A and B are shown apart, each in its own frame.
Chain A
Amino acid sequence: MTSPANDRRKGSDTAPLLTVDNLTVTFQRRGQEPFRAVDGVSFSVRPGQTVGLVGESGCGKSVTSLAIMGLLPKRGNQVTGTVDYEGTNLLTLSDDDMRDRRGKDIAMVFQDPLSSLNPVIPVGLQVTEVLERHRGIKRKDAMPMAADLLKRVGIPDPNRRIKDYPHQMSGGMRQRALIAIALACAPRLLIADEPTTALDVTIQAQILALLKELVEDTGTALIMITHDLGVVAGLCDEVNVLYGGRIVERGDRHPIFREPRHPYTNGLLGSIPRLDTVGERLTPIPGSVADNLPWDHACAFAPRCSQPVEVCTTNTPTLEESGGRALRCFNPVEVAR
């Protein structure tokens, strides 16, 4: 199947749909030191492209997505940098202008489908309210459209299911419903924040297949936020590995998986069980994000790194780009030749 979207996705010269430049999010809590959850993150997404933001809990990947959506609470959060969506900096838009775009141009799929759906109103209404809001369609006319959307994301018997409440659906079906809500207005950018984490494995595979199919059919750009490299391997064109609020490595999927250069990426790959290397022990990354050094005068990952050198604790590594990849490391993993 060669759709125009597929062609665009191959061509790397298409102009980006969304460009995030030097995005920084600082949490300011009373009586505490300001904390930079996202620290100068830059990346871009082209139409039809799937970009992964990968990292463990607390690396800033979800905060990045909320900042793009303008969903961070105003109080206590300072967001700087630019989020350029086809020439408009989303960060400077007024609340009302941003509200007009959310759900229409940019939509989001959340992690836990049960808590992300309103428990006291039927699923059908939760789909139609987006259509009512952004397309001005009457609820009566929007209902058949909602049923079509549910059918498209693979929910059987959609005409009955639109009257169901979230608690009457299975986990997989709820996640499909959330995806249907996100797709209702045919957004050009979809952000999926760990969309499979709360689901069991077989359902995870189905949801990923669904997302992939939708992205290929519609040419929607997808930002995939995950801690699961399996998800990245199956779905993403480009991977951004985040650590401590900064991108530490970027590249296309195959090169990253074949020859990870950053010790953190390498560690993430090493801690996944593999079927083809029976009997080998998994190599976990020691420590936790609590051990991080501040980026200001060191590499945050140094305390947990498998191959630190002296400069790692005295200087801040910069993100160096070369050959379509980017790396932030003083002592990268040697590529086996």
Chain B
Amino acid sequence: MLRFIIRRLLQMVGVMIALSLLLFLWLRSLPGGTVSAMLGERATPETRARLSKALGLDEPIWVQYVKFMGRALKGQFGASTGVLPGADAFDIFLKRFPATIELSAFAIILAVAIAIPMGYVAAKRRGSAVDNAGIVTSLVGVAIPVFFLAFLLKYFFAIKWGLLPASGRQDSINCTRVTNFFILDGLLTREFDCTWSALKHLILPAVALASIPFAVIFRITRASVLDVLDEDYVRTAEAKGLANRTIRGRHVMRNALLPVVTTIGLQVGALLAGAVLTERVFNFGGIGDTLAVSFFTRDYAVLQVLIIAAAAVFVIVNLLVDISYAVIDPRVRTR
């Protein structure tokens, strides 16, 4: 098991290096470029050359890459040129990224917590009202665009009925910042009103964001449970006279979860993309706006750190998926 994890960690390092190279090349092959974005179309060749030199963009691309990697390993990602000119890109990342992670994590927990039990019940009572309701909900969840659902939720729950806050991450109360994960910060500093406020702000965006992962996880769980219920070993478990609880947990769900776990890992990618849209509707202050601005201003420093961080989250989540897969299924471990 340990060897399995170590091997996967090494693979992950390789994936991240390859990714950083691809990203580096891709960003620099975009039309325009930092210099044009900063100086505009009418700048003289001399000013352009001077700025280019100052930013180190006049050097061959592989030299730039080696220098970038060297600094990145020390935690230096350079200064922002477009989003907040002069500010350290890593500081922008530290301020913005926790919001997106907090939102995404809350959304996926919400989706999993509802979709898996519902998927089980739907499969167990195939064709019942619960089953049909689940299928319809999941179809709606997949079909409705995230930002539209976000608008609807905002309009009804925040504006019309005033039940939940319409935007932002927290009410403007004095809160101590530790990690920039606002819920966590409140718990760490025992400012529970801060946690409560952050939680209230999180609900609507998280529900909007959870809609697609919920739908996908529900459908996969339902299909997977249906398959497993037909398996001979479930019949064996029944023939042993085991309690329903044991059959459900140990024999049905443990086997049915394998494809579900894989799906959850893949959904995290879609979730990060959805977070960018949801954040804009709720003015949530995550990486969504920052990514858009840094892209249009060709702010390489900020783009690189944000995209690499998002990719790292995706890779780490899928590493966790692989590990939990091995924990659930002994056949994976020996491979």
Instruction: Report whether A116 and B233 are in contact in the complex, using a CB–CB cutoff of 8 Å.
Output: yes
For B233, give its contact among A102, A107, A117, A134 (CB under 8 Å). Answer: A117
Instruction: Report whether A181 and B255 are in contact in the complex, using a CB–CB cutoff of 8 Å.
Output: no
Instruction: Report whether A133 and B241 are in contact in the complex, using a CB–CB cutoff of 8 Å.
Output: yes
**CB of A297 closer than 8 Å to a CB of B:** no
**CB of A101 closer than 8 Å to a CB of B:** yes
The residues in A between 64 and 116 inclusive whose CB is less than 8 angstroms from any CB of B are: 69, 71, 98-104, 107-108, 110, 112, 115-116
**CB of B41 closer than 8 Å to a CB of A:** no
User: Complex formed: what's the CA distance from A119 to B328 in Å?
Assistant: 10
Instruction: Report whether B241 and A103 are in contact in the complex, using a CB–CB cutoff of 8 Å.
Output: yes
For B240, give its contact among A112, A119, A121, A130 (CB under 8 Å). Answer: A130
User: Complex formed: what's the CA distance from A98 to B237 in Å?
Assistant: 14
User: Complex formed: what's the CA distance from A185 to B329 in Å?
Assistant: 28
For A119, give its contact among B241, B243, B250, B255 (CB under 8 Å). Answer: B255
Q: Which residues does chain B contribute within 8 Å of A10, judged by CB atoms?
A: none
User: Complex formed: what's the CA distance from A121 to B255 in Å?
Assistant: 10
Q: Which residues does chain A contribute within 8 Å of B235, judged by CB atoms?
A: 71, 110, 116
User: Complex formed: what's the CA distance from A28 to B239 in Å?
Assistant: 23
Q: Residue on B with the closest CB to A113?
A: B232
Instruction: Report whether B331 and A133 are in contact in the complex, using a CB–CB cutoff of 8 Å.
Output: no
Instruction: Report whether A103 and B255 are in contact in the complex, using a CB–CB cutoff of 8 Å.
Output: no
For B232, give its contact among A102, A115, A129 (CB under 8 Å). Answer: A115
Known: A71-B235, A110-B236; 4 extra A-B contacts, CB below 8 A, are: A71-B238, A99-B241, A115-B233, A130-B240
Q: Distance (Å) between the CB of A21 and the closest chain B CB?
A: 23
Instruction: Report whether A119 and B329 are in contact in the complex, using a CB–CB cutoff of 8 Å.
Output: yes
Instruction: Report whether B236 and A181 are in contact in the complex, using a CB–CB cutoff of 8 Å.
Output: yes
Main secondary structure of the interface of B (DSSP, over half): helix
Q: Which residues does chain A contribute within 8 Å of B169, judged by CB atoms?
A: none
User: Complex formed: what's the CA distance from A114 to B251 in Å?
Assistant: 15
**CB of B231 closer than 8 Å to a CB of A:** yes
Q: Which residues does chain A contribute within 8 Å of B254, judged by CB atoms?
A: 118, 120-121
Q: Which residues does chain B contribute within 8 Å of A112, judged by CB atoms?
A: 232
**CB of B60 closer than 8 Å to a CB of A:** no
Instruction: Report whether B251 and A118 are in contact in the complex, using a CB–CB cutoff of 8 Å.
Output: yes
Instruction: Report whether A104 and B238 are in contact in the complex, using a CB–CB cutoff of 8 Å.
Output: no
Q: Which residues does chain A contribute within 8 Å of B243, judged by CB atoms?
A: 99, 133
User: In the complex, how many residue pairs between chain A and chain B have their CB atoms under 8 Å apart?
Assistant: 77
Instruction: Report whether B329 and A120 are in contact in the complex, using a CB–CB cutoff of 8 Å.
Output: yes
**CB of A167 closer than 8 Å to a CB of B:** yes
**CB of A330 closer than 8 Å to a CB of B:** no
**CB of A165 closer than 8 Å to a CB of B:** yes
Q: What's the interface size class on A, roughly?
A: 20 to 34
Instruction: Report whether A116 and B236 are in contact in the complex, using a CB–CB cutoff of 8 Å.
Output: yes
Given known contacts A116-B236, A178-B236, A104 and B331 CB-to-CB distance under 8 angstroms: no
**CB of B330 closer than 8 Å to a CB of A:** yes
Q: Distance (Å) between the CB of A1 and the closest chain B CB?
A: 30
Q: Which residues does chain A contribute within 8 Å of B330, judged by CB atoms?
A: 119-120, 122, 165, 167
Q: Which residues does chain A contribute within 8 Å of B233, judged by CB atoms?
A: 115-119
Using CB atoms and an 8 Å cutoff, list the residues of chain B in contact with chain A: 231-233, 235-243, 246, 250-251, 254-255, 328-331
Instruction: Report whether B239 and A129 are in contact in the complex, using a CB–CB cutoff of 8 Å.
Output: no
Q: Which residues does chain A contribute within 8 Å of B238, judged by CB atoms?
A: 71, 102
Instruction: Report whether B328 and A110 are in contact in the complex, using a CB–CB cutoff of 8 Å.
Output: no
Given known contacts A71-B235, A112-B232, A129-B250, A118 and B240 CB-to-CB distance under 8 angstroms: no
Given known contacts A116-B235, A120-B330, A165-B331, A181 and B250 CB-to-CB distance under 8 angstroms: no
Instruction: Report whether B250 and A118 are in contact in the complex, using a CB–CB cutoff of 8 Å.
Output: yes
User: Complex formed: what's the CA distance from A165 to B254 in Å?
Assistant: 14
User: Complex formed: what's the CA distance from A3 to B238 in Å?
Assistant: 33
User: Complex formed: what's the CA distance from A121 to B249 in Å?
Assistant: 12
Given known contacts A115-B233, A118-B255, A129 and B328 CB-to-CB distance under 8 angstroms: no
User: Complex formed: what's the CA distance from A102 to B246 in Å?
Assistant: 15
Q: Which residues does chain B contribute within 8 Å of A134, judged by CB atoms?
A: 241
Q: Residue on A with the closest CB to B237?
A: A118
For B235, B241, B330, which residue has the most chain A Cβ atoms within 10 angstroms? B241
Q: Distance (Å) between the CB of B183 and the closest chain A CB?
A: 35
Q: Distance (Å) between the CB of A119 and the closest chain B CB?
A: 7
* Nearest 3 CB-CB pairings of A with B: A102-B241, A103-B241, A103-B240
For B240, B250, B254, B328, which residue has the most chain A Cβ atoms within 10 angstroms? B240
Given known contacts A110-B232, A112-B232, A71 and B241 CB-to-CB distance under 8 angstroms: no
Q: Distance (Å) between the CB of B309 and the closest chain A CB?
A: 35
Q: Residue on B with the closest CB to A166?
A: B233
Q: Which residues does chain B contribute within 8 Å of A129, judged by CB atoms?
A: 240, 242, 246, 250
For B231, B232, B233, B246, which residue has the most chain A Cβ atoms within 10 angstroms? B233
A-B contact pairs, 10 of them (CB 8 A): A69-B239, A71-B239, A98-B241, A99-B243, A102-B241, A103-B240, A110-B235, A119-B331, A120-B330, A133-B240
